[in-house]
Amino acid sequence: MEGIFITFEGIEGCGKSTQANLLYDFLTSKNIECVLTHEPGGTPISEKVRNILLDNKNEEMDSLTELFLYFASRAQHTVEKIKPALKSGKAVISDRYFDSTLAYQGEGRNIPNQKIAEINSFATGGLIPVLTFLIDVPAEIGMNRLTTKDRIEKESLEFHNRVRGSFLTIARENKERIKIIDGMRPIEEIRKEIASIVLNYI
């Protein structure tokens, strides 16, 4: 049987990595073989692309260059890591995936969502997560939780609030797949909510 593909989405500092790790521990404790990965990155080649994307020195990067680098990273990640793991029946948890591209490059950089969806489908062979957790916090809170900032994180509060709004719109348009999680609550409370939702899928 194919494994389940679960993604975590949301703005910087919302708690994606924290909760992705906790879900990994939970599934592992249930003896479910699980792969924990992230975007951009996840394979050696994809990590090299990630370094270009997040490098503070690349200030002059064009929006389309940025978009295609994200897809370059994802194409390799999907083929080399995610699909083989799902095929062998493992659960795959990815810290960011397609919805981040829609929110950051679509809304944030004004690239049409339809175009992004088309290229994404081409780059991934149409691989869509079964379940996505959107951890929602106001941009001010997310930014305050972070210590060091990369190129994307250095964007203005206004940019991050627009991205937050876009994530919420995407979630409302994909109610079956995307669960909006209130990220303002204690880590343990969020962990329990996510675990109970995932239990319904495994």
Q: Can you give the binding site for ligand ATP, defined by CB under 6 A?
A: 10, 12-18, 145-146, 183, 186-187, 190
DSSP states along 155-193: S-HHHHHHHHHHHHHHHHHTTTTEEEEETTS-HHHHHHH
CA gyration radius, the chain: 16
Phi, psi of 93, deg, nearest 5: -110, 120
Minimum Å gap between C-beta 151 and ligand ATP is: 12
The item of Mg ion, ligand ATP, none sharing an interface with residue 129, based on CB under 5 to 8 Å by kind, is none
Minimum Å gap between C-beta 34 and ligand ATP is: 18
Give dist(CA 23, CA 29) in Å, integer.
10
Give dist(CA 96, CA 102) in Å, integer.
11
Minimum Å gap between C-beta 12 and Mg ion is: 8
The item of Mg ion, ligand ATP, none sharing an interface with residue 18, based on CB under 5 to 8 Å by kind, is ligand ATP
Give dist(CA 120, CA 104) in Å, integer.
14
Q: Which residue number, 10 or 106, has a Cβ lying nearer to ligand ATP?
A: 10
113 binds Mg ion (CB under 5 A): no
Q: What x/- string results for residues 16 through 55 when contact with Mg ion is judged by CB under 5 A?
A: -x--------------------------------------
CB 127 within 8 A of CB 77: no
Q: Which residue is nearest to Mg ion (CB)?
A: 17
Q: Which residue number, 43 or 111, has a Cβ lying nearer to Mg ion?
A: 43
Question: Where do we find the tokens 């062979």?
Answer: 125
Piece in contact with Mg ion (CB under 5 A), picked from 13-21, 52-60, 99-107, 141-149: 13-21
CB 58 within 8 A of CB 73: no
Could you list the residues that contact Mg ion (CB under 5 A)? Answer: 17
